[in-house]
Amino acid sequence: MALTVKAIAESINIMGKRSGAAMRERIQGPIQEMAREETEAGASYLDLNIGPARKDGIELMPWMVETVQNTLATPLCLDTTNTAAMIAGFQVVKNKTAAIMNSISAQPERMEKLIPAAAEAGCNVIALLWGPEGMPRDSNERAAMAVDLMMALNGAGIPNEKILFDPIGTPITLGADQIASGLEFMMMLQEIAPGSGSTVGLSNVSNGVAEHLRKYLDRTYLIMLMKYGISTAIVNAYDKELMAICRGERQDLVDMVHGMMDGDDPDSSALTGTALEHYKTYKVLSGQAVFSESWLTL
């Protein structure tokens, strides 16, 4: 059976050229147009990312929610580091139980403010494995943070089935060790939190890489995560090949990469096209080859 992943479309973002300008100027048209485009591309959720929004977040997030949900019914994923803006946004979400709160990290002040709001809304939550001291060092620290978050969320009445754990994707430019730690955590997740889901911002792995090369890293990274049952991913919905992988339409490539993860290396001289791209990219993401921006041509 083909493996599939639900896509959380990431492009309606304060940092985006089209969406950012529209947010700042409160112009609904471009945001609604992007929401339709991402939905038509196959997105299961629309991420509305207003960033920190320190000055106007309490007004901006509800405006964003209403701008999109008055156009279509695709479930929303609200994304901001401003806790007050997050809470204000959820007050106007129509379909709260289908929506996602992105995110609750393992930081006391964020847990204290957002867990009660998520429990009241009955929404899904992204449990971000980022603690008071920042990035966990390895899979064991990720597991410890996951347990802390799970216990706090469960204690507020939020079941594992509403939790999406995010082990945090890290840029390949920093090396492959943290990527491996995230995958190790994914292997343990169902033992730690039975019934829970998972997600990763795929573009984190390609952050800092030349723009035209980023899609190759994101696509192969998704396939690697699929081996351990990732249920959703925060994606560029405008990447048609990435969306085809999400829909389960590239199972031959998935099988090849998963075979490599099990130690079954194909003969690279017999590979061409997309298969060769995934082969070379897996070697880099797994740390078997040193990353450089010429990895696809070596």
Task: Walk across the sheet containing 76-80 and list its strands.
Answer: 197-198, 163-166, 124-128, 100-105, 76-80, 45-51, 6-13, 232-235
pLDDT for 174: 96
Q: Would you say 29 and 37 are in contact if contact means Cβ atoms under 8 Å apart? A: no
Say if residues 47 and 77 touch (Cβ distance below 8 Å): yes
pLDDT at 110 > cutoff 90: yes
Predicted pLDDT at 155: 98
Average pLDDT over residues 106-130: 98
pLDDT (average), residues 180-197 = 98
Domain residue ranges in the chain: 6-249
- Specify the pLDDT at position 15: 96
| Segment 58-64 mean pLDDT | 98
pLDDT of residue 112: 98
- Right CATH number for 6-249 from 2.70.70.10, 3.20.20.20, 3.40.50.11900, 3.40.50.720? 3.20.20.20
Q: Terminal CA-to-CA distance of the chain, rounded, Å?
A: 34
Residue type, 281: T
Which whole number is the average pLDDT over 246-252?
98
Mean pLDDT, range 22-35, rounded to an integer: 98
pLDDT bucket at 279, cuts 50 / 70 / 90 = very high
Whether 1 shows a pLDDT value over 90: the answer reads no
Residue partners of 256: CB distance under 8 A and separation at least 6: 266, 275, 278, 279
Task: Inform me whether the pLDDT recorded for 37 exceeds 90.
Answer: yes
- For all residues of the chain together, what is the average pLDDT? 98
Q: What is the dihedral of CA 231, 237, 241, 243, to 10 degrees?
A: 30
pLDDT tens-digit readout, 136-173: 999 999 999 999 999 999 999 999 999 999 999 999 99
The residues with which 163 forms a beta bridge, in sequence order, are 125
